[in-house]
């Protein structure tokens, strides 16, 4: 049985370098879309502006939040729902507050250079705060090359690399998911306790996300990691990489990647290899469409991912379903929370500058103050505008930022694939 992981347990299982990591969380050409709320169920292709009354920030000084997500590329199948979650607070607040709220969506294409260009577009369009980017491989380059030099706040809902924690970021970079330094320990514990594995191999996408999570697992696993094999995204075949990873018949295989590559990787696996080995995938592969695309029930595969366990989870789930007609997916609640706290910090700041928003993020998100959640977001905006102290508690977690912009309390799920998509099997709590 998987037990709850407390901070003291976590730190004992991480190397000195890992502990140091935990001490820390573009000229685009007008291809983004700007709107106070998305008018097409999440894509936001039309530009509109809604001013719902007086008070607070005026039409000349609106609340502005950019959304930087992978709408195309390897991560698009999960990136689009994450984008929708990020836009949902603005949808919810339309007509419910005295503020104009502007959002603009830009596509990273799951590519660092495209992400840099898209981020520059948002910065040049005057957005002082951005929900995103999504993947760590894009996030680290975008934050270093665009957001930090421009003094723009970034709050990623899904960038989990431990390297985000230690960025020299002038306190501008935050995130609502946990670090993969923790997920590596969760996977190691699942392998040892649930799968009774004493040997393992990893296959990881060749970027910051894949490398860091593979390393974090290796540092925490009590057995032997026989092979750690990197792979490139969206290749026509992964057979040779699988052969290398599965040499010496490891008890378990950890696969760290994204859906578009995962489809081909698992097709090759089930076509060419013994399907009896236990496989653990990570959050990047939590896609309900994966078994159907692969052509297998994937019964030998389980996964780990940060999950929604905040006080506002049920309200968020219902709101997402009503707006988009589908179930929220991985990191969608974290995206909602990221945008919600950026809106509240912007209102508290009273101006559209990254440093002012940065200086108010912990004030609206962390204790002390009266608690407000997703169900009372409009009331939270009004309270902040009136100068009251608030404590936003979210859909994904309590959303308490530590000194490095990382979450202080999170929950992981262990999931499996079913004919209907994915199913949570159990959860693991981590609290500071």
Domain ranges of the chain: 5-22+180-308+410-431, 33-179+311-408
Q: Match 């709107």 to its residue by tokens.
A: 35
The two tokens of residue 287 are 């896609």
The angle that helices 377-385 and 332-349 make with each other, rounded to 10 degrees, is 20
Closest alpha carbon to 278 in 348, 360, 209, 223? 223
Which tokens belong to 19?
């502990």
From CA 303, how far away is CA 187, in angstroms rounded?
Answer: 8
Q: Which residues contact 344 (CB under 8 A, 6 or more apart)?
A: 360, 364, 365, 380, 381, 384, 390, 392
* Phi, psi of 67, rounded to the nearest 5 degrees: -125, 115
- Are 200 and 222 contacting, i.e. CB atoms less than 8 angstroms apart? no
Please give the Cα distance from 378 to 332 (Å, whole number). Answer: 20
Nearest-Å Rg of the Cα atoms of the chain is 21
Alpha helices by DSSP H, listed for 14-75, are: 16-22
CB 167 within 8 A of CB 147: no
DSSP 403: T
User: Omega of the bond prior to 367 within 30 degrees of 0, cis?
Assistant: no
DSSP one-letter code for 72: S
Q: Which pTM does this prediction carry? A: 0.79
On whether the CB atoms of residues 136 and 161 are closer than 8 A, the answer is yes
Q: Which residues pair with 429 in a beta bridge?
A: 411
Q: Is 191 helix (H, G, I), strand (E, B) or coil?
A: helix
Instruction: Report CA dihedral (80, 83, 88, 90) to the nearest 10 degrees.
Output: -140
Tokens of 251: 């008890």
* Torsion sign over Cα 24, 10, 308, 397: negative
Q: Tell me how far apart the alpha carbons of residues 140 and 224 are, in angstroms, rounded to a whole number.
A: 30
Q: In the chain, which stretches have pLDDT less than 70?
A: 1-60, 431-432
Neighbouring residues of 314: CB distance < 8 A, sequence distance ≥ 6: none
**Alpha helix segments (H runs only) across 273-309:** 290-294
In this prediction, residue 169 carries a pLDDT of 97
β 301-306/409-418 pair status: antiparallel
Element (H, E) at 121: helix 112-124
CATH class of 33-179+311-408: alpha beta
Superfamily of domain 5-22+180-308+410-431: Response regulator (3.40.50.2300)
Say if CB 398 and CB 409 are below 8 A apart: yes
pLDDT at residue 431, rounded to an integer? 67
CA torsion, points 371, 376, 380, 386, in degrees to nearest 10? -110
One fold for 5-22+180-308+410-431 and 33-179+311-408: yes
In the prediction, which pLDDT does 298 show? 94
CA atoms within 13 A on the CB side of 44: 32
349 Cβ neighbours under 8 A, 6+ residues apart: 356, 357, 359, 360
Rounded to the nearest 5 degrees, what angle is found at the Cα of 40, between the Cα atoms of 34 and 44? 20
Contacts of 54 (CB under 8 A, 6+ apart): 98
Judged by DSSP in three states, 219 sits in helix
* Cα 364 from Cα 342, distance rounded (Å): 9
């Amino acid at each position: 049985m998987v037990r709850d992981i407390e901070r003291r347990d976590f730190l004992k299982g991480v190397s000195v370098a890992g502990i140091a990591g935990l001490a820390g969380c573009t000229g685009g050409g007008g291809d983004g879309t700007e709107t106070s709320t998305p008018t097409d169920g999440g894509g936001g292709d039309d530009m509109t502006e809604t001013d719902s009354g007086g008070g607070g920030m005026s039409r000349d000084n609106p609340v502005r939040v950019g959304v930087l997500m992978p709408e195309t590329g390897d991560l698009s199948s999960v990136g689009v729902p994450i984008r929708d979650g990020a836009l949902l607070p603005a949808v919810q607040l339309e007509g419910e507050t005295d503020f104009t709220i502007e959002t603009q969506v830009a596509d990273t294409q799951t590519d660092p250079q495209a992400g840099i260009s898209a981020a520059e577009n948002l910065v040049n369009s005057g957005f002082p705060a951005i929900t995103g980017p999504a993947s760590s491989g894009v996030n680290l380059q975008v934050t270093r090359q665009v957001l930090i030099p421009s003094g723009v706040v970034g709050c990623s809902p899904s960038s989990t690399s431990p390297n985000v924690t230690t960025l020299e970021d002038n306190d501008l970079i935050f995130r609502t998911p946990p670090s993969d330094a923790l997920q590596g320990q969760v996977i190691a514990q699942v392998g040892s306790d649930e799968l009774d594995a004493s040997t393992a191999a990893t296959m990881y996408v060749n970027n910051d996300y894949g490398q860091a999570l593979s390393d974090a697992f290796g540092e925490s696993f009590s057995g032997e990691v026989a092979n750690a094999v990197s792979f490139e995204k969206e290749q026509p075949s992964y057979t040779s990489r699988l052969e290398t990873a599965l040499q010496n018949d490891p008890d378990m295989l950890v696969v760290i990647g994204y859906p578009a590559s995962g489809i081909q990787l698992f097709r090759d696996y089930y076509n060419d290899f013994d399907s009896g080995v236990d496989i653990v995938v990570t959050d990047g592969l939590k896609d309900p469409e994966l078994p159907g695309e692969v052509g297998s029930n994937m019964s030998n595969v389980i996964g780990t991912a940060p999950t929604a366990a905040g006080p506002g989870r049920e309200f968020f789930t219902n709101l997402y379903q009503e707006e988009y007609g589908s179930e929220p997916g991985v990191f969608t609640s974290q995206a909602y929370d990221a945008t919600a706290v950026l809106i509240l910090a912007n209102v508290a700041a009273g101006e559209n500058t990254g440093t002012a928003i940065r200086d108010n993020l912990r004030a609206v998100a962390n204790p002390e103050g009266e608690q407000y959640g997703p169900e009372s977001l409009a009331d939270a905006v009004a309270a902040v505008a009136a100068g009251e102290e608030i404590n936003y508690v979210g859909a994904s977690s309590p959303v308490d930022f530590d000194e490095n912009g990382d979450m202080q309390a999170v929950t992981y799920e262990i999931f499996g694939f079913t004919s209907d998509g994915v199913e949570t099997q159990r959860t693991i709590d981590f609290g500071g």
